[in-house]
Chain A
Amino acid sequence: NAGVTQTPKFRVLKTGQSMTLLCAQDMNHEYMYWYRQDPGMGLRLIHYSVGEGTTAKGEVPDGYNVSRLKKQNFLLGLESAAPSQTSVYFCASSWHTDWQNEQFFGPGTRLTVL
């Protein structure tokens, strides 16, 4: 099993460009999450999904949109990239949000917006 994979691993955008980050998991997990990690700060939740066809806002959702059309995929979109969105993005998945359930993380996508 590949676990949680993210595409692409690196990307450089110009301000105003758009892009989509893809997260895929092969563990049949119900819950999926998108986080961003910035220097000196803990991981922050952008959006999450509790199942196919559902999405919800996290702590820092502005400037991002998400979709969960298939259970195994969770897409994060930037419609008009801004330099403030320069960050490392991590996707994660879990069976449930119950405390006993471990979150499995992808390898991360390093995004730079010029």
Chain B
Amino acid sequence: KNEVEQSPQNLTAQEGEFITINCSYSVGISALHWLQQHPGGGIVSLFMLSSGKKKHGRLIATINIQEKHSSLHITASHPRDSAVYICAPRDGGKLIFGQGTTLQVKP
């Protein structure tokens, strides 16, 4: 069983829809990162969180350490949000990466 499971693996949405991507992990962690990988391949960090909720623009990330679960929400989705979203819990000094969720937002 993978240490990090993301769901769904693939997601297609219409512009304007509210999107949720889930991440469950089995290891004990100190924090969790959400990353975005653009269609061209570049990877950028979206959030780092160890508890509660963080918001940046239309993106919201939540984490429940006890339940070993995190979610990434996108409000009012837009075609430019189309990308792969990667969950990466931090186990000690290292990140453990999920397989990613491929999101396509259609106009």
Question: Which residue numbers of A lie inside 8 Å of B, CB to CB?
Answer: 35, 40-45, 48, 58, 88, 90, 92, 97, 99-105, 107-108
**A/B interface sample: 11 pairs, CB < 8 A:** A41-B99, A43-B88, A88-B41, A90-B43, A97-B93, A97-B94, A99-B48, A103-B95, A104-B45, A105-B44, A108-B42
User: Chain B interface: which size bin?
Assistant: 20 to 34
The 8 Å CB contact of A42, one of B30, B92, B97, is B97
User: Count of A-B contacts with CB under 8 A?
Assistant: 49
Please give me the residue from chain B that is nearest to A110 by CB atom: B41
Closest chain B residue to A39, Cβ basis: B99
Known: A103-B45, A104-B45. 19 other contacts (CB 8 A): A42-B4, A42-B86, A42-B100, A43-B88, A43-B97, A44-B97, A45-B95, A58-B94, A90-B43, A92-B43, A97-B92, A99-B30, A99-B48, A99-B90, A100-B48, A102-B48, A107-B41, A107-B42, A108-B42
